[in-house]
């Protein structure tokens, strides 16, 4: 079954097409990582697929019931507590007020937040904790599809690994599908079932590779060996670290 199908997608910014002829499919229960050079349009593709931007042409067909999105910036409401920020998504989803406390507590636990953290304001939380709140906010609406827009780029290495593990654990049930945007091939190989590569100039998906084993079951050596082989011997990944700042991200 297909959770997300993108066909012939084109998106134009200020009259210039920054994405064109993009075809991409995410299966039910599958996490697909999308990599590509900086500025090639990865984040734009995620935003269009999530309905935040309108494509010039093409089709986005959602086979899921509800999606949520986790951004690079947690984008928390500074005047609301962690619980208030998580509850904000429930209010937008029109979840009955009586159900919200339990849903907030459940999502916070899934994101490894302690009960005492829920009364804190964003300014009182570390970067990793703020990102956990953002994850809990997304999980609270009980999505069956998640869009990840480079959510851990700003975190240090140790925190990034912890957040990656949290995503792996959250998605391990198979009930969640997702599109994970990243510039880090090692991160992609840890989290995803399959890695797709967007063309340098956004002119379609150049190809994809299945990562052996299941996320969470791969050893660090397996992941590192796969990344080394991809970067060293697979022409599909030859240009993923190129930079073109003239392109829109």
Which domains are seen in the chain, by residue range?
Answer: 1-65+145-249 (3.40.50.300), 80-143 (no CATH)
pLDDT of residue 208 exceeding 90, the answer is yes
Residue 136 has pLDDT above 70, yes or no: yes
DSSP calls for the chain: -EEEEEEEEEEEETTEEEEEEEEEEEETT-EEEEE-SBTSSHHHHHHHHTTSS--SEEEEEE-SS-EEEE-SS----TTS-HHHHHHHHHHHTT--GGGHHHHHHHHHHHTT--GGGGG--GGGS-HHHHHHHHHHHHHHT--SEEEEESTTTTS-HHHHHHHHHHHHHHHTTSS-EEEEE-S-HHHHHHH-SEEEEE-TTSSSEEEEEEPSS-TTTS-HHHHHHHHHHHHHH-GGGTTTT-B-TTS--
pLDDT digits (tens, 9 = 90+) for 161-171: 888 888 888 88
Confidence of residue 33 (pLDDT cuts 50, 70, 90): very high
Residue 243 pLDDT = 59
């Amino acid at each position: 079954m297909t959770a997300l199908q993108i066909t012939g997608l084109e998106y134009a910014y200020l009259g210039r097409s920054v994405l064109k002829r993009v075809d991409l499919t995410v299966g039910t229960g599958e996490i697909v990582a999308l990599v590509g050079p900086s500025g090639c349009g990865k984040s734009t593709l995620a935003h269009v697929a999530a309905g935040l931007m309108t494509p010039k042409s093409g089709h986005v067909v959602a086979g899921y019931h509800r999606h949520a999105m986790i951004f690079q910036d947690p984008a928390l409401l500074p005047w609301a507590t962690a619980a208030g920020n998580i509850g904000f998504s429930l209010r937008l989803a029109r979840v009955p007020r009586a159900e919200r406390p339990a849903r907030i507590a459940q999502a916070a636990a899934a994101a490894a937040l302690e009960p005492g953290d829920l009364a804190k304001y964003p300014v009182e939380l570390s970067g990793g904790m703020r990102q956990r709140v953002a994850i809990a906010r997304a999980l609270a609406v009980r999505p069956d599809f998640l869009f990840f827009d480079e959510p851990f780029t700003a975190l240090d290495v140790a925190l990034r690994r912890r957040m990656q593990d949290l995503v792996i654990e959250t998605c391990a049930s198979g009930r969640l599908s997702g599109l994970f945007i990243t510039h880090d091939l090692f991160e992609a190989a840890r989290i995803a079932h399959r890695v797709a590569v967007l063309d340098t100039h956004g002119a379609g998906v150049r190809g994809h590779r299945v990562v052996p084993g299941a996320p969470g079951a791969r050893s660090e050596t397996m992941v590192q060996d796969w990344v080394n082989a991809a970067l060293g011997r697979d022409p599909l990944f030859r240009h993923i670290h190129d930079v073109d700042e003239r392109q829109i991200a």
